[in-house]
């Protein structure tokens, strides 16, 4: 079977209503049907009591274990606060030139920063971070092109500075890797 599906795995999401728009957007943007995939994960393994956070790489490793043959890419979407040991937090992590990526919604909501809730802005941020992390799986590094979704963002306000789409150069690299 051809790897022809972009699988989205929900992990501890408080709000599942964001999934449908996300699937629709990813399908449109990558030109590959995006679908939900259910997976049992051992989250306790990734949990760090002291930090009250989840080790991102450990979740990512589980996401890409024995992937279905039809998997073109696998994206985990989690409501958990994720980290890697050397950093205090992450918006997401991806396998560089791999198939797996993970995004966390935990720090994408306005409420986290004491600002008024904004569902549309939240959705936009989620789309950007999802596309961004998937971009890394195509081997894209961070891009300097103004507004490209591959601009690096380590602060929530950086996310606003980029668009939801790739610049032309990045898009070309993504396009080369698309299944037939």
Partner 1 sequence: MDKENIGILIVDDEFSVRDSLAKWFLSDGFRVGTAESADVAMTRLGEQPWDIVLLDIKMPGMDGIEFNRHIRSVDKDIIVIIITAYSSVDTAVQALKDGAFDYVSKPVDPDDLTHTIRNAVEKRRLAQENIQLKQRIEDLTMPDEIVGTSPQIKRVLEMIATVAQTDATVMIRGESGTGKELAARAIHGNSHRRYAPIISVNCGAFTETLLESELFGHEKGAFTGACTRRKGKLERADKGTIFFGEIGNISPKMQMDLLRVIETKQFTRLGGDTPVHVDFRIISATHRNLEEAVAAGEFREDLYFRLNVFTIDMPPLRERPEDIPLLANCFLQMYSRSMTRGVREIAPDAMQMLVSYDWRRNVRELRNVIERAIVLSSGEKIIGRDLSFPFRYRAKQQGDTMEEIEKAHIGRILERTEWNISQAASVLGIDRTTLYTKIKKYGLSKPS
| Residues contributing to the site for Zn ion (CB under 5 A) | 143, 145, 148, 150, 167, 170
Q: Two tokens at 26?
A: 């990813």
C-alpha to C-alpha distance for 32 and 28, rounded to whole angstroms: 8
69 assigned to active site? no
- Binding segment for partner 1 (CB under 8 A), chosen from 5-13, 29-37, 71-79, 122-130, is 29-37
| Interface with partner 1 in residues 90-119 (CB under 8 A) | 90, 94, 96, 113-115
Is the separation of the CB atoms in 23 and 35 below 8 Å? yes
- Binding segment for partner 1 (CB under 8 A), chosen from 3-11, 22-30, 62-70, 74-82, is 22-30
The correct pick among 39, 145, 164, 173 for binding partner 1 (CB under 8 A) is 145
C-alpha to C-alpha distance for 65 and 43, rounded to whole angstroms: 14
User: Which residues, including other chains, have CB under 8 Å from residue 163's CB and lie 6 or more apart?
Assistant: 128, 147, 148, 149
Give the residues lining the site for partner 1 (CB under 8 A): 28-32, 57, 83-90, 94, 96, 113-115, 136, 141-147, 152, 154-155, 157-158, 160-161, 165-166, 168, 171, 174-175, 178
């Amino acid at each position: 079977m051809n790897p022809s599906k972009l699988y989205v795995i929900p992990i501890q999401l408080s709000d599942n209503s964001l999934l449908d728009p996300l699937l629709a957007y990813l399908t449109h943007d990558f030109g590959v049907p995006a679908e939900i995939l259910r997976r049992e994960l051992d989250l306790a393994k990734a949990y760090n009591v002291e930090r009250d956070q989840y080790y991102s790489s450990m979740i990512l490793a589980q996401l890409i274990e024995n992937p279905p043959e039809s998997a073109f890419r696998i994206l985990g979407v989690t409501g958990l606060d994720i980290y890697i040991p050397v950093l205090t937090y992450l918006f997401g992590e991806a396998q560089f030139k791999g198939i797996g990526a993970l995004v966390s919604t935990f720090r994408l909501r306005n409420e986290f920063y004491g600002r008024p809730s904004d569902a549309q802005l939240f959705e936009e941020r989620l789309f950007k971070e999802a596309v961004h992390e998937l971009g890394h799986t195509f081997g894209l590094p961070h891009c300097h092109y103004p507004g490209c979704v591959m601009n690096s963002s380590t602060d929530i306000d950086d996310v606003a500075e980029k668009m939801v789409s790739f610049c032309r150069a990045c898009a070309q690299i993504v396009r080369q890797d698309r299944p037939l």
